[in-house]
Amino acid sequence: MRSLKLPRRFASRYGVPVIGRVDPRIFTSRYFTHCLQCGFCHDWCCSFGVDVDLRAAGAIERHADALERHAGIARSRWLEPAVERDARMPGGGSRRTRVEDGACIFLNRQGRGCRLHAFCLEQGLDYHELKPLVDCLFPLTFSGDLLCPSDEVTTGALACLNQGPSAYQGVREEVQYYFGDECVAALDELGCREASSSSP
């Protein structure tokens, strides 16, 4: 698989993950992007739960009393007990959200969207505090030092593919939040090069 090298390695604001290469498919794969405006996928991407890095899991626990009241869901149902250790994840590992009735426990069944996100908005919190990094970056992810499309993109499983902006453009602000202005400037330049090299 071809990859593009960044001018240097960029660590996230938490120290990890660290990216130094890019899969060029992040500039060409497209998806709907504006999730809450979607009327056709029925929250498909929330069907499988998500890996909650231990940094975010700790923040969720710190707000557990208020979050439990907001969501109306007992905290014992939020996360799987098993911890997967991974030095590339903020906090050194992750726990998986539970899936109930075919979707992530935090999916709002009475409306749309993520209850964690809604809770943060209600409480005046930056949603990055409680939401896991991999959730905010989706449909991008990382593998080693490679920033790349998620499996749902590369396998064609994502319900909203092939419409809207590129996967990178769709989450550019999230990449900027986690990896900084210099990283985004380098990615913008790589994206422009890819576009010019593929144009007739």
DSSP 44: G
| Share of residues in the chain with pLDDT > 70 (%) | 92
For the chain, give the mean pLDDT: 92
- Tell me the percentage of the chain whose pLDDT exceeds 90: 77
* Residue pLDDT, tens place only, 13-69: 999 999 999 999 999 999 766 665 556 666 767 888 999 999 999 999 999 999 999
Of the candidates 43, 174, 36, 161, the one whose C-alpha atom is nearest the C-alpha of residue 99 is 43
For tokens 């999730």, the residue is 35
Q: Which of 83, 67, 87 is nearest to 75 (CA)?
A: 67
Per-residue model confidence (pLDDT) at position 199: 55
Q: Say how many C-beta atoms besides its own lie within 10 A of residue 95's C-beta.
A: 21
pLDDT score of 113: 87
Can you tell me the distance from the alpha carbon of 19 to that of 147, in angstroms, rounded to the nearest whole number? Answer: 6
pLDDT digits (tens, 9 = 90+) for 91-121: 999 999 999 999 999 999 888 789 999 999 9
Phi, psi of 73, rounded to the nearest 5 degrees = -130, 130
Give 114's contacts (C-beta < 8 A, 6+ positions apart): 46, 104, 106, 107, 108, 131, 135
Q: Supply φ then ψ for residue 54, to 5 degrees.
A: -65, -25
Please give the pLDDT value at position 189: 97
